[in-house]
Amino acid sequence: MENIISRHRNLTVLAVVLFAQVLGLAFQVHKTTSRGADRLIRVWAVSAMTPFEKAVVHTTSWAADAWNGYFYLRNVSRQNQQLREEIQRLRLEQVRMAEDARQARRLQVLLGFKEQFISQTLPAQVISTTGSEFSRGIYIDKGARDGIKPDMPVITADGIVGKVLRVYPTSALVLEISDPSSGAGVILEKSRLQGILKGSAGGGTSVANIMADEKAEPGERVLTSGGDRVYPKGMMVGTVSKVTSAGTFLNVEVKPAARLDRLEEVLVITKVVEMAPDASELSGPARAIDILTERLPSVPAPNPADKSAVPPTTAELAAREKQAAREAAAAAAAAKPEAGTSAAPKPNPPVPAMQGAGEGARGTPTKPAVKKPAPPRPAERTNPSTKEPPR
Amino acid sequence: MPAPHASRQQIEVYRFSVPAAFGLPLLALLLQAFLPVRAPFFAIFDLPLLITIYFAVGRRNQITGLLTGGIIGLLQDSLTHQPIGLYGIAKTVVGYAASSLGVKLDVDNPGTRLLMTFGFYLSHQAIYFGVARGLAGEALSWRWGHEVIGGAANALLALVLFVVLDKFRQRA
């Protein structure tokens, strides 16, 4: 036996090394979490690589910033002009969207919706990749010391990137949405179809679990649905690029909005707050019609105890007019002897029918014109000008 | 014992200085992880594999070759999110095979280097794929076109890279 082993020493060593690795592999696959020796190896390897990667990335960034900021200033003036025009356009768009947002939040208040708000983010720089085509992930220069934790979503201004998978002291591994083992709950914006965004071996992304009898069209935007409890709802994921039928389900290919192959800086969402929209937050720029509504007089509700507040009938009005005429005639007859010495007095005008209906009806606002945050119009308000057309 | 048809140059055994033996694999791992950030097309290359092949055929020692491949593979594994050992197993086998081949072939010939790297790349990918699917249960799919293109790209890079690495080797 010993003779055989020594004769085939090289093959024996190969078999031992392979067996040891297969054993280690089986041990890792059996475990669900990375806490043992593999964790130690990863920490050592990543900690050894990270300082060099950080140094290279920060040096190149500094050099690029210096070059672009101080030396290469060609076309800056034209770019400046273009950006100004872009700002003007975005301002107009912002006004329109702010109004839509306020209306949406009013509806959310009414319906008792709960929203997820991104309350805290941490910018991070991409320092490296995993270096493997079979593992689509990136390393960022923020880690446990910066408050990064597993499962935190990572985004850019364009869309979602992935989620934090492993955290090291000064860096973290982010699993991109294009990795075959990743998954994100998404919803198609127009058709409202929900599914799971999965990565593929080729680096593409597609939405799974959409039945073949549903309809999705290329160009439709794909947003996060919030159902995975990782990504906040409503974040941009990408656009549908191709739809094919694959048996029972549709294969909806998605082009990610974020450039996953050219990431330099990302945002890690470190805190997400779930809360219902507060009605007091809805006070924004008041519309003219709302201000007018508040200032216009209105008829208060009738008080049953106050008889004067009850409007008289037509018969009562006629009787009152006759009575007034008789009193005027009597007064004129009584004053006839002195008619030559003084001007004839004018008859008292008839008592206005609504005089007793309240002082408030005479131009005095019934309540101060304090703008409240757009509550639903009170039912008792009767001024027809206050009625808004339904939106 | 060298093959009968091998010339003296073919059986030349090389060694590498300690800084080169440790520094070159680490530099390869560093570049492999860093360069795709700036140049996404670089992800198709496998620098650690090329270093494994070069060291194995240069030293012409099967045990050294498999150990070099195994260590480089395990380090590469530790940077990914997948179980440690996938690259380790693949590169262990490639290191052993490359050192075995180095005993029998003129590995300084550009044509040999081209074909050898192409073949080892495909073997490496096939072993990785088989182990990842079969043992680790990873959801991978084999893409012939992509792997052939990758093999060709790595073989071309090896032509240039091996000439550069030749400057670090010393006759044993």
Q: Which of B47, B49, B63, B77 is the best mutation test for A, with the most CBs of A within 10 A? A: B77
| Structure confidence at residue A292 (pLDDT) | 57
Provide, as residue numbers in chain A, all residues whose Cβ is less than 8 Å from the Cβ of B94.
Answer: none
Q: What is the pLDDT of residues B84-129, one digit of tens each?
A: 999 999 999 999 999 999 888 878 889 999 999 999 999 999 999 9
Are the beta carbons of B155 and B114 closer than 8 angstroms? yes
| Structure confidence at residue A337 (pLDDT) | 47
Provide, as residue numbers in chain B, all residues whose Cβ is less than 8 Å from the Cβ of A181.
Answer: 81, 138-139
Closest chain A residue to B86, measured at CA: A25
Query: Residue A218 carries which side chain, given as an amino acid letter?
Result: P
Task: Test A134 with B82 for CB contact under 8 angstroms.
Answer: yes
B154–chain A Cβ distance below 8 A for any pair: no
119-148 in B: which are within 8 Å (CB) of A? 128, 131-132, 135-141, 143, 146
- Give the distance from residue A103's alpha carbon to the nearest chain B alpha carbon, in angstroms: 43
Say yes or no to pLDDT of A39 above 60. yes
Provide, as residue numbers in chain A, all residues whose Cβ is less than 8 Å from the Cβ of B36.
Answer: 129, 131, 261
- Give the distance from residue B84's alpha carbon to the nearest chain A alpha carbon, in angstroms: 6
Question: pTM (2 decimals)?
Answer: 0.70
Are the beta carbons of A216 and A188 closer than 8 angstroms? yes
B66: containing domain: 15-171
Task: Test B81 with A56 for CB contact under 8 angstroms.
Answer: no
B74–chain A Cβ distance below 8 A for any pair: yes
Specify if B1 maps to a domain.
Answer: no
Q: What is the pLDDT of residues A151-196, one digit of tens each?
A: 999 999 889 999 999 999 999 999 999 998 899 999 998 888 888 9
Q: Which of A128, A165, A251 is the best mutation test for B, with the most CBs of B within 10 A? A: A128
What does the alpha-carbon distance between residue B45 and residue B43 come to, in Å, rounded to a whole number? 5
Burial of A195 (0-12, 13-18, 19+ CB in 10 A): buried
Higher pLDDT, A356 or B140: B140
B153–chain A Cβ distance below 8 A for any pair: no
What does the alpha-carbon distance between residue B132 and residue B129 come to, in Å, rounded to a whole number? 5
Query: Residue B61 carries which side chain, given as an amino acid letter?
Result: N
Task: Test B143 with A26 for CB contact under 8 angstroms.
Answer: no
Burial of B86 (0-12, 13-18, 19+ CB in 10 A): buried
Residue B41: phi and psi, rounded to 5, are -65, -20
Q: What is the pLDDT of residues A347-373, one digit of tens each?
A: 444 433 333 333 333 333 334 333 444
Specify if B46 maps to a domain.
Answer: yes
Task: Test B81 with A137 for CB contact under 8 angstroms.
Answer: yes
Q: What is the pLDDT of residues A303-333, one digit of tens each?
A: 555 555 555 666 666 677 777 777 777 766 6
Specify if B2 maps to a domain.
Answer: no
| Structure confidence at residue A19 (pLDDT) | 93
User: How many structural domains does chain B have?
Assistant: 1
Closest chain A residue to B100, measured at CA: A10
Specify if B9 maps to a domain.
Answer: no
What does the alpha-carbon distance between residue A38 and residue B77 come to, in Å, rounded to a whole number? 10
Confidence of residue A257 (pLDDT cuts 50, 70, 90): very high
Q: Which of B71, B84, B96, B128 is the best mutation test for A, with the most CBs of A within 10 A? A: B84
- Give the distance from residue A165's alpha carbon to the nearest chain B alpha carbon, in angstroms: 8
User: What is the Cα Rg of chain B in Å?
Assistant: 16
Task: Test B83 with A29 for CB contact under 8 angstroms.
Answer: yes
B98–chain A Cβ distance below 8 A for any pair: no
- Give the distance from residue A30's alpha carbon to the nearest chain B alpha carbon, in angstroms: 9
| Structure confidence at residue B132 (pLDDT) | 92
Provide, as residue numbers in chain B, all residues whose Cβ is less than 8 Å from the Cβ of A14.
Answer: 62, 66, 92-93, 96
What does the alpha-carbon distance between residue A278 and residue B86 come to, in Å, rounded to a whole number? 52
Are the beta carbons of A382 and A299 closer than 8 angstroms? yes
Task: Test A201 with B43 for CB contact under 8 angstroms.
Answer: no
Q: How remote is the C-alpha of B123 from its chain's centroid? A: 11
What does the alpha-carbon distance between residue A124 and residue A171 come to, in Å, rounded to a whole number? 10
Percent of chain A with pLDDT over 70: 70
Closest chain B residue to A127, measured at CA: B34
Specify if B162 maps to a domain.
Answer: yes
Q: Which domains does chain A show, CATH number per domain?
A: 114-275 (2.40.10.340)
Task: Test A134 with B132 for CB contact under 8 angstroms.
Answer: yes
Specify if B3 maps to a domain.
Answer: no
Range with the largest mean pLDDT of A58-67, A75-84, B119-128: B119-128
Task: Tell whether the torsion through CA atoms of A174, A175, A178 and A183 is positive or negative.
Answer: negative
ipTM over 0.90: no
Task: Test A45 with B85 for CB contact under 8 angstroms.
Answer: no
Confidence of residue A296 (pLDDT cuts 50, 70, 90): low
Specify if B7 maps to a domain.
Answer: no
Higher pLDDT, A15 or A360: A15
Q: What is the pLDDT of residues A130-141, one digit of tens each?
A: 989 888 999 999
Are the beta carbons of A211 and A250 closer than 8 angstroms? yes
Confidence of residue A291 (pLDDT cuts 50, 70, 90): low
Q: What is the pLDDT of residues B24-63, one digit of tens each?
A: 999 999 999 999 988 889 999 999 999 999 999 988 889 9
Are the beta carbons of A107 and A277 closer than 8 angstroms? no
Closest chain A residue to B87, measured at CA: A132
Q: What is the pLDDT of residues A87-106, one digit of tens each?
A: 999 998 898 888 888 888 77
Confidence of residue A45 (pLDDT cuts 50, 70, 90): confident
Closest chain B residue to A12, measured at CA: B63
Specify if B5 maps to a domain.
Answer: no
